[in-house]
């Protein structure tokens, strides 16, 4: 059925994910909430357990063997992330708690030093709250203006309006998602980046929903900042990445203070370490490094290109079967999408739908998906969202469709 994988390959991939053998309410789990948190293959779980069992120790400056080993795992994954993203050097990779913290870091360092009361920041209308609220909080301190890049009816961003906003405001920064978590739209961030640069703006790309699903090269995008979370790419929770151009990081003041981010500390004055460590205060979540190594192994072995291609097949199938259901309306119909289908049902609250699907063993996300302005744009309080993974099957999507039809009978 798939042109990317054989049945046997799909079965083999599914076999790596222990959670897929779970039953929920007596039915086999259909996990379609991958955009919220992806699942982990055994190799990732085992890598972290093995690390805890054999190598656990606090990293950096420890002379003893365990600390050396842990440091090598931790700093080693920085190299791998750097090459995954096509970064110029490993020092461009800053670890944070997640995409959210990564974006807050940019706001509180680059933003706090470069934005002025008369600055303008352009923010996409579909952004996850993680890429809007940090700018609002900073704006309440500094006083700059936030202008919205409006979305069109297909949940793409209005590129003409974007260019007009650049012309009119000469913004200092454009903060935009690569892929919409609410609707799946892939935005043309490379084009948006060159337009931003042509108008003297920097561009921050929220890659939380792109890096796990397609090859993302920061040089090809030519962006300035990129953020994402490991837990959405078959990796550990509590770990995220900020990539930023070296020149920018070098000029950014520290944010959080503590261990590891300093050079010399005294009561009379403190100097700070080089990037990226300047931005990594405190004991890092070093066990996660072992997990991220294994997650990257998994993605490399499967191939991110094949992950993407497979998810495109699933997306097409989902649009077909869900799109055929009367009373179901898909939000997000732009041509370029990742594996996310968001929909509403006539006369049925998304919460009720989610509850019913759950009883059928089908895990979807319902509600505003941390993108309330995007919901408002489409005049809804929330949607029902199915989001796919490389292990998702057409049968699972069919079960979702059948579940929707069944719940419509009861609820509509």
Partner 1 sequence: MTAIDTISQREAEVVEEFALFDEWLDKYEHIIELGKSLSGVDPEFRTDHWKVKGCQSQVWLQPGTEGDLVVFKADSDAAITKGLVALMVRVLSGQPAEAIARAPLGFLESIGLREHLSPTRANGLASMVKQMKLYAAAMSGRGNEGGQDG
The footprint of a second copy on residues 19-78 (CB under 8 A) is: 19, 22, 24-25, 29, 31, 33, 36-37, 39-40, 42, 44-46, 48-49, 52-54, 56-58, 61-67
Cα separation, 189 vs 109, whole angstroms: 23
Binding partner at 71 among partner 1, a second copy, ligand PLP, none, C-beta below 5 to 8 Å by kind: partner 1
Q: Which of 38, 181, 185, 392 binds ligand PLP (CB under 6 A)?
A: 181
Question: What's the full length of the chain, in residues?
Answer: 412
Per-residue binder mask for ligand PLP (CB under 6 A), 233-252, x = binder: -------x------------
Residue 34 touches ligand PLP, criterion: CB under 6 A: no
Q: Interface residues for partner 1 in 249-308 (CB under 8 A)?
A: 263, 274
Which CA distances in Å does 381 have to 8, 82, 121? 41, 39, 26
Is residue 389 involved in binding ligand PLP (CB under 6 A)?
no
Using CB under 8 A, pick the residue from 104, 180, 210, 392 that binds a second copy. 104
Pairing state between β 328-331 and 340-345 = antiparallel
Q: How many helices (H) and strands (E) does the chain have?
A: 15, 17
Helix axes 394-411, 350-359, angle to 10 degrees: 120
The site partner of 177 among ligand PLP, partner 1, a second copy, none (C-beta below 5 to 8 Å per kind) is ligand PLP
Site for ligand PLP contains 229 (CB under 6 A): yes
Contacts of residue 166, Cβ cutoff 8 Å, sequence gap at least 6:
122, 174, 195, 196, 198, 199, 201
Angle between helices 42-54 and 286-302 (to 10 degrees): 150
Strand duo 202-206 + 173-177: pairing: parallel
CA atoms within 13 A on the CB side of 236: 25
Residues paired with 337 in a beta bridge: 185
Question: Strand 30-31 to strand 362-363: parallel, antiparallel, or no bridges (unpaired)?
Answer: parallel
Quick one: which segment of 81-89, 171-179, 246-254, 346-354 binds partner 1 (CB under 8 A)? Answer: 346-354
Residues in the site for ligand PLP, rule: CB under 6 A? 35, 98-100, 128, 130-131, 177, 181, 206, 208-209, 229, 231, 240, 259, 282-283, 370
Residues in the site for partner 1, rule: CB under 8 A? 25, 59-63, 68, 71-72, 75, 263, 274, 348-352, 354-356, 359, 366-367, 381-382, 410-411
Residues annotated as catalytic (active site), given as ranges: 370
């Amino acid at each position: 059925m798939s042109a990317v994988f054989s049945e046997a390959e799909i079965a083999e991939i599914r076999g790596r994910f222990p959670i897929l053998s779970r039953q929920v309410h007596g039915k086999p789990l259909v996990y379609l909430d991958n955009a919220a948190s992806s699942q982990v293959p055994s190799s990732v779980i085992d890598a972290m357990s093995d690390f805890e069992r054999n190598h656990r120790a606090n990293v950096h400056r420890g002379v003893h063997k365990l600390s050396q080993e842990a440091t090598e795992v931790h700093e080693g994954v920085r190299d791998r992330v750097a090459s995954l993203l096509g970064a110029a050097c490993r020092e461009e990779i800053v670890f944070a708690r997640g995409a959210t913290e990564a974006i807050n870091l940019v706001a509180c360092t680059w933003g706090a030093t470069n934005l002025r009361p008369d600055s303008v920041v352009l923010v996409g209308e579909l952004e996850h709250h993680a890429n809007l609220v940090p700018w609002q909080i900073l704006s309440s301190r500094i006083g700059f203006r936030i202008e919205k890049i409006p979305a069109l009816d297909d949940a793409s961003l209005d590129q003409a309006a974007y260019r007009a906003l650049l012309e009119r405001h000469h913004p200092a920064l454009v903060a935009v998602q690569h892929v919409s978590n609410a609707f799946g739209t892939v935005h043309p961030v490379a084009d948006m980046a060159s337009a931003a640069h042509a108008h003297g703006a920097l561009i921050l790309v929220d890659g939380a929903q792109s890096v796990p699903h397609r090859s993302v090269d920061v040089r090809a995008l030519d962006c300035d900042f990129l953020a994402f979370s490991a837990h959405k790419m078959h990796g550990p929770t509590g770990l995220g990445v900020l990539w930023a151009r070296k020149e920018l990081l070098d000029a950014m003041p520290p944010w959080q203070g503590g261990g590891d981010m300093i050079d010399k500390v005294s009561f009379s004055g403190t100097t700070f370490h080089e990037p990226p460590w300047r931005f990594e205060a405190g004991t890092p979540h070093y066990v996660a490094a072992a997990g991220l190594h294994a997650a990257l192994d998994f993605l490399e072995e499967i191939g991110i290109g094949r992950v993407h291609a497979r998810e495109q097949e699933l997306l097409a199938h989902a649009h077909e079967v869900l799109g055929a259901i009367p009373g179901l309306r898909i939000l997000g119909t732009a041509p370029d999408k990742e594996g996310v289908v968001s929909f509403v049902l006539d006369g049925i609250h998304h919460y009720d739908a989610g509850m019913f699907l759950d009883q059928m063993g089908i895990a979807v996300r319902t509600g505003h998906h941390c993108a309330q302005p995007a919901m408002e744009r489409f005049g809804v309080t929330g949607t029902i969202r199915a989001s796919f993974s490389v292990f998702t099957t057409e049968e699972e999507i069919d079960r979702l469709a059948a579940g929707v039809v069944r719940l419509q009978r009861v609820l509509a």
